[in-house]
Amino acid sequence: MTYRYAIGLGSNRSHGRHGRPRAVIGAALKLLRPIAVSHIIETAPIGPSSRRFANAAALVESGLAPPDLLALLKRIERDFGRRGARRWGERVLDLDILLWSGGHWSSATLAIPHLRLIERRFALDPLAEIAPGWRIPGHGTVRQHAARLTRRMPVHRSGRNRVRSSVGRASDF
């Protein structure tokens, strides 16, 4: 059986052979042999890292089950020099399974869809470019969530932004 996977790619450290983060992403894409690739975007880091990230998304077809594909992605990361890095720290290459054609997957080492996918523009924006209609199980489409994260909120007459509270009313801040 062949599965389709959405893979998120990120880099914010240069590699001795491949060069700057954009080139690292390009080299990793050659190994993945994707059927579709987004543009590479530059994004601000999350957490303690001070370096900006290059991010992209790719669609890959594979006969590998999710744990086996994860093992392959981790091997590629190691081959690019990734070591046990701190959470949200700098890294030569980060490869994540964002979605797969089988829907949900849950184990001690892997969750699909990616647990924070719907919160992360750096993953959703590239993915929306190549798979806007892909349904995130239990959450709607990639396009809907990318739009939700980019939507501007109306400005109140006072000039202050309005935000929606957890109970659905608008409140000023």
Query: Which sequence positions are flagged as catalytic?
Result: 82, 91, 94, 96
At residue 97's C-alpha, the angle toward residues 46 and 88, to 5°, is 20
Q: Which residues are CB-contacts of 80 (< 8 A; sequence separation ≥ 6)?
A: 15, 18, 24, 27, 28, 92, 93
Which amino acid is residue 98, in one-letter code?
Answer: L
- Reduced to 3 states (helix: H, G, I; strand: E, B; else coil), residue 111 is strand
